[in-house]
Amino acid sequence: MKQLFPEKQSLQLPDSDLIYFPNFLKFDVANTYFNTFKTTTPWQQDNIKVFGKVYPQPRLTALYGNNGKPYTYSNITMQPHPFTKALLAIKQKIEKETTAHFTSCLMNYYRDGNDSNGWHADNEKELGENPIIASITLGQERFFHLKHRKNKAMTYKLLLAHGSLLLMQGETQHHWLHQIPKTKKPIGERINLTFRVII
């Protein structure tokens, strides 16, 4: 049976190294993973400070890892849970497409269109000089926005499909910001797995 989408696409954006795999996980496999992670993950909701005011983070999160190292972003420090069998299986599948050996996975649970992730770069020191981030989407497809740090007119929008993988590597985090914006459309739940190397 012919695939509806190509196996992988290199996004030709300046100052970046971005590869998108729309069909990384088969549909039924992705469904199973979504249901597993939704029901078995110890989700948490931390508070974040924005312009001096404290708000509940607009999504739920969980951190997993195999080296015991915490992850700190936006003044939030998370301690890792041990990798589950399901996360290890996905991690090993991703590693066949890269030269990386991921140590950690930050999971995000977007419950509806009100949940979001604002403009940021994954450039924390513990991720190294040129971080590699492998992002898996399960559930509701959401738009992933990118904008260049210096050239504000340079933007890009990608619809992340159920079962897809987006690899961000090289100097991408130095030159680009990204976000998952809110939407007023009635949409379903999305779980996002972001595999990283924490050094």
> Tens of pLDDT along 58-92?
999 999 999 999 999 888 899 999 999 999 999 99
Q: What share of the chain in percent tops pLDDT 90?
A: 89
Q: What is the pLDDT of residue 51?
A: 78
pLDDT of residue 96: 95
The dihedral sign for the CA sequence 132, 174, 71, 36:
negative
Over the stretch 16-62, which tens digit does the pLDDT of each residue have?
999 999 999 999 999 999 999 999 999 999 998 877 888 899 999 99
- Residue 4 per-residue DSSP state: S
CA distance 190 to 182: 13
- At 37 the pLDDT is 98
The label of the residue with tokens 């340079």 reads 154
Coil, strand, or helix at residue 158? Answer: strand
pTM of this structure: 0.94
Tens of pLDDT, residues 1-16: 344 556 899 999 999 9
Name the band, by pLDDT with cuts 50, 70 and 90, for residue 186.
Answer: very high
14 burial via Cβ count (<10 Å: 0-12, 13-18, 19+): exposed
What per-residue confidence (pLDDT) applies to 2?
42
Tokens of 89: 């299986």
Q: Among candidates 111, 116, 118, 112, which has minimal Cα distance to 185?
A: 112
> What average pLDDT does the structure give for the chain?
94
CB 161 within 8 A of CB 28: no
Mean pLDDT of 107-114: 98
Q: Which of 77, 88, 17 is nearest to 47 (CA)?
A: 77
